[in-house]
Amino acid sequence: MSVASVILFLLAFSYNTTLVVAGTALLGATAGLVGTFLLLRKQSLLGDALSHATLPGIGIAFAVMSALGLSGRSLPGLLIGASVTGLMGVLLVIAIRRTTRLKDDAAMGIVLSVFFGLGIAILRMVQEIPGQSAAGLSSFIYGKPASMIMSDLILITITLVATITACLLILKELTLLCFDDSFASTQGWPTTLLDVLLMALVTAVTVVGLQSVGLILIIAFLITPPTAARFWTNNLRTMLWLSAIIGAVSGWLGAWLSSIYPDLPAGAIIVIAAGVIFLISMIFGPTRGVLPRYLRQLQLKRKVGRQHLLRSAYEIMEIDQGTHPLRNLPVPLARLREHRSWTKGELPQLIRQARREDHLEKQPGGDLRLSEAGFGKAARITRNHRLWELYLITHADVAPSQVDRDADMVEHILGAEMVHQLEAELDLRDHVLESPHQIANDVASCPESPPHS
């Protein structure tokens, strides 16, 4: 298979379909870009309301153009009509939100359903106008990219390139609007205008996308890629790029598959493609995906567990032997078990883990013996832990924000100087600082301890 034939295959064989596939991919990229801001502004469903609100505009535009003697199917005219009522709908949502006790969801729902109902009613009326063919108006609802002709595609491409350019030009303004609109307002930025600008961009994408994926599914193009992209990064610019790429891939994949299986609705396939990518992102996305987060937490838990085990063994040796330097003697499991409140299953698991990491040596008779490496590590962990505890006591006012569950981090966070100070203090207190468990026991046994408030 030559490279040329592979490319041809990917571009779905024919010139016509290639155009459609490319156009749909471009639509996906733009929708991903604009949709990112919509998502960050937490107004994803406003796009839904917008897309439904375009329907009356399409019907009216068709009627007007027919009345003027033009071809009712002229795309620019229909798109203008769609934009007008779409934007009207959005402004109405904002107005309802600002002037009544109704909240976002109700305002959007009202505009969405009423405009759509009106649109259906108008479409029905215009469909029966004698002399005009309204067939294909319903393709705006489901999408039918295959019916696109070259001039349509050119219009779409121009609109989309303009939208992308606009997005990039006012990138920082949109970021500020989405992050902190109050601050933006105090800085003199016209937040309502910016909101309307964003909505205008969404309108452009929506209206242009009506042809490809249809009214009901364009919203998926606007919501799914950005949401998927979020799982891969914590950086806004990266998120924008990724969102555009995911949108493009969904568009390409959907249009391509649709050309192979022409009896299936194209818009639906595109949406499902995007949905699959979203699912994969949500589960596996390295930055915020469900699985990586879970694994990271497991890792931390394991690390802390390991430290607890080694430290407990060391502390028991201290209790038994009393004096420093300690000898690395075996520790009976029973002692270990009562030293900390581990459940029945936890301790054997930790022991197995420590053995795998070569911190333990197997000992006959069920005792635990630290390896040389393990012993050294236990000593270090115990010292670090004591330093943390000392820090918490002596610097009680500032400590809580600094203390790290990972005992190893003490020099990293407190700095070498502080650690030296604490070590000196620790030595003064005779090496061994009472562990919290011992302190609790002491208090309980003290006859004059004050009553608990």
Partner 1 sequence: MPANHSADSPLAVHDLTVAYHRKPVLWDIELEIPKGSLAGIVGPNGAGKSTLLKACLDLIPTTSGAVRIYGKPYAEQRDLVAYVPQRESVDWDFPVSALDVVAMGTYRKLGWLKRVGKKQKDQARTALEQVGIGHLADRQISQLSGGQQQRVFLARALVQDADIYFMDEPFAAVDAATEQAIIELLQDLNKRGKTVLCVHHDLATVSRYFDWLVLLNMRIVASGPTKETFNRENLQKAYGGKLNLLEDVAHALKNVGR
Partner 2 sequence: MTWTQNDTGILLVGILCAMACALPGCFLLLRRMSMMGDAISHAVLPGLAIAFLISNSRASVAMFIGAALAGILTALFTQWITKFGKVDRGAAMGIVFTTLFAIGLILIKKTADHVDLDASCVLYGALEHTPLDSVTLWENEGSILAVPRAALVVGGVFLFNLLIINLFFKEFTLASFDPALARTQGYRPMLMHYLLMMMVAITTVAAFEAVGSIIVIAMLIVPPATAFLLTRNLPLLIALSLALAALGAILGHLSSQWIPHLTGLPETTSSGMMATLSGFLFLLVWLFGPQGLLRRSSVQIEEPPAQVF
Q: Which residues bind partner 2 (CB under 8 A)?
A: 39, 42-45, 47-48, 52, 96, 98-106, 108-110, 112-122, 124-126, 128-129, 138, 141-142, 216-217, 219-220, 223-224, 226-227, 230-231, 263-265, 267-269, 271-272, 274-275, 278, 282, 288, 290
Radius of gyration of the chain, Cα coordinates, nearest whole angstrom: 33
Instruction: Between 217 and 336, name the residue whose CB sits nearer to partner 2.
Output: 217
Q: Is 155 in the site for partner 1 (CB under 8 A)?
A: no
Binding flag, residue 397, partner 1 (CB under 8 A):
yes
Closest CA to 43 of 243, 223, 228, 193: 223
Distance, C-alpha 83 to centroid of its chain: 30
11 or 45: CB nearest partner 2: 45
Between 162 and 290, name the residue whose CB sits nearer to partner 2: 290
Nearest to 366 by CA among 323, 406, 331, 316: 331
Pick from 398, 424, 428, 444 the residue near partner 1 by CB under 8 A.
398
Residue 182 site contact among partner 1, partner 2, none (CB < 5 to 8 Å, cut-off depends on kind)? partner 1
The DSSP element (H or E) to which 44 belongs, if any, is helix 44-67
Structural element, H or E, at residue 367:
strand 367-370
Strand order in the sheet with 331-332: 331-332, 367-370, 360-361
Q: What angle do CA 51, 52, 57 make, to 5 degrees?
A: 90
Closest CB to partner 1 among 355 and 395?
Answer: 395
Q: Does 176 bind partner 1 (CB under 8 A)?
A: yes
For residue 422, with 0-12 CB atoms within 10 Å meaning exposed, 13-18 middle and 19 or more buried, which class applies?
buried
Residue 286: count other Cβ atoms within 10 Å of its Cβ. 12
Q: What would the two tokens of residue 375 be? A: 């012993």
Here the tokens at position 317 are 């040796």
Please tell me the count of residues contacting partner 1 according to CB under 8 A: 29
Written as one string, the DSSP assignment of 261-281 is: STTS-HHHHHHHHHHHHHHHH
341 near partner 1, rule: CB under 8 A: no
Query: In 344-371, where does DSSP find H-type helix?
Result: 346-356
Q: Which does 169 bind (CB under 5 to 8 A by kind): partner 1, partner 2, none?
A: partner 1
Q: Does the protein bind partner 1 through residue 188 (CB under 8 A)?
A: yes
Name the minimum Å distance from CB 279 to partner 2. 9
170 binds, options partner 1, partner 2, none, Cβ within 5 to 8 A by partner type: partner 1
Task: Pick out residues in 48-67 that bind partner 1 (CB under 8 A).
Answer: none
Contacts to partner 1 by CB under 8 A: 40, 42, 169-173, 175-176, 178-180, 182-183, 185-189, 230, 233-236, 239, 397-398, 400-401
